[in-house]
């Protein structure tokens, strides 16, 4: 049972991570900075509960805000570059953040223990959940409540004019500008929202694993973050969810007996989807069709 609950927790965090990239990808920006924002959120939230003794939810929100603020600051210079150059710039950002935490020590004495981040050793003893008597079940339910809230917010946004504007920028920047859309404002907002969601994912991740270190936030994690929405499609948040369930549930866990060969399958899957469904599983055409089938006329 605990195995499945643990899997649910992983899926929850990865769904948040995928959604954080979903927002940014909608504006046509390919970003590998999400692992960096996740790390910032993870360390910030964990330091707030462990060192400052804040309640969990407040610490998670604060971690998300810090990551979002960072994303906003990074967004201005980063979004001046396009396409491949943006990919390179965001890889550099994730690496800088990782190396920062590799060198970051801030420990204080808690009884006989020293707690806090300790460079390459990582940040151990993030024991908010066990100390407050949360079971694995409680944690899994809590994570999915957060996921549901974020999904609902993005689902709502997709139906509002704001969501339409994000996608218009992703489709054609020149046309969007000519329609009066301020590209910088839109892209930086998307980056900020994405950074905050990644920070939230990081904060949750830090607390359920109880131990984080810089190797948890590598480029590989950032690759997963953009793989989910790319595979799932950018027209619906449910595409990202489906991709996470498929990759984490089936490819990573279901095929565990294949060992490291699974990574090969992951690569093959991306190539396959890019060929068969270039705009992802749930693309605009499919969602429009589903909506017609459900008899709804939504914006």
Partner 1 sequence: MLELQNLSKHFGGVRAVDGLSLRIDPGQIFGLIGPNGSGKSTTVNLITGLLQATHGSIRLAGEEITRLPTHARLSTGIARTFQNIRLFGQLTVWQNLWVAENSKAQRQHTGFMPRWLGGERGARVRITRALEFSGLADKADELASNLAFGEQRRLELARAMAAEPKVLLLDEPAAGMNPEEIGALDDRIRHIRDSGITVLLIEHHMELIMAIADRIAVLNFGQKIAEGTPAEVQAHPAVREAYLGTAEH
Which residues bind to partner 1, rule: CB under 8 A? 156-157, 159-162, 164-165, 167-168, 171-172, 174-183, 235, 279, 283-285, 288, 291-292, 296-299
Q: How far apart are the first and last CA of the chain?
A: 42
Pick 82 or 161: Cβ nearer partner 1: 161
Least distance from partner 1 to the Cβ atom of residue 58, Å = 25
Pick 116 or 170: Cβ nearer partner 1: 170
Least distance from partner 1 to the Cβ atom of residue 260, Å = 37
Pick 77 or 299: Cβ nearer partner 1: 299
Residues in the chain: 299
| Three-state secondary structure readout of 165-198 | HHHHHHHCHHHHHHCCCCHHHHHHHHHHHHHHHH
Least distance from partner 1 to the Cβ atom of residue 186, Å = 10
> For the CA atoms of 143, 232, 244, 188, what is the dihedral angle to 10 degrees?
-50
Pick 210 or 279: Cβ nearer partner 1: 279
Six-digit token pair at 274? 């890019």
- 245 phi and psi, to 5 degrees? -60, -45
Helix-helix angle 161-171:183-209, to 10 degrees: 110
Of 217, 17, 235, the C-alpha closest to 102 is: 217
Least distance from partner 1 to the Cβ atom of residue 140, Å = 30
For residue 172, how many other CB atoms are within 10 A of its CB?
A: 12
Pick 179 or 255: Cβ nearer partner 1: 179
Least distance from partner 1 to the Cβ atom of residue 84, Å = 22
């Amino acid at each position: 049972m605990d195995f499945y609950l643990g899997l649910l927790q992983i899926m929850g965090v990865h769904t948040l991570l995928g959604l954080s990239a979903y927002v940014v990808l909608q504006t046509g920006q390919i970003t590998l900075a999400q692992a960096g924002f996740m790390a910032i959120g993870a360390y910030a939230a964990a330091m707030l509960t462990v060192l400052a003794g804040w309640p969990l939810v407040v610490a998670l929100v604060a971690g998300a805000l810090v990551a979002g603020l960072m994303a906003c600051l990074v967004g201005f210079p980063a979004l001046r570059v396009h396409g491949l150059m943006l990919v390179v710039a965001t890889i550099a950002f994730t690496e800088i953040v990782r190396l920062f935490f590799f060198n970051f020590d801030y420990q204080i004495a808690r009884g006989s223990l020293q707690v806090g981040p300790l460079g390459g050793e990582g940040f151990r003893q993030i024991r908010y959940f066990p100390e407050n008597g949360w079971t694995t079940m409680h944690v899994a339910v809590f994570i999915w409540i957060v996921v549901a809230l974020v999904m609902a917010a993005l689902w709502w946004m997709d139906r509002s004019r704001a969501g339409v504007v994000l996608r218009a920028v992703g489709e054609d920047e020149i046309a969007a500008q000519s329609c009066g859309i301020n590209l910088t404002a839109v892209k930086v907002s998307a980056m900020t929202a994405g950074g905050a969601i990644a920070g939230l994912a990081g904060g949750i991740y830090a607390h359920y694993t109880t131990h984080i270190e810089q190797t948890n936030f590598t480029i590989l994690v950032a690759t997963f973050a953009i793989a989910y929405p790319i595979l799932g499609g950018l027209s619906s948040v449910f595409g990202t969810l489906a991709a996470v369930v498929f990759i984490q549930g089936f490819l990573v866990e279901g095929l565990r007996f294949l060992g490291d060969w699974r990574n090969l399958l992951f690569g093959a899957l991306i190539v396959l989807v890019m060929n068969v469904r270039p705009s992802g599983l749930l693309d605009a055409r499919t969602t429009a069709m589903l909506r017609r089938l459900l008899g709804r006329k939504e914006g």
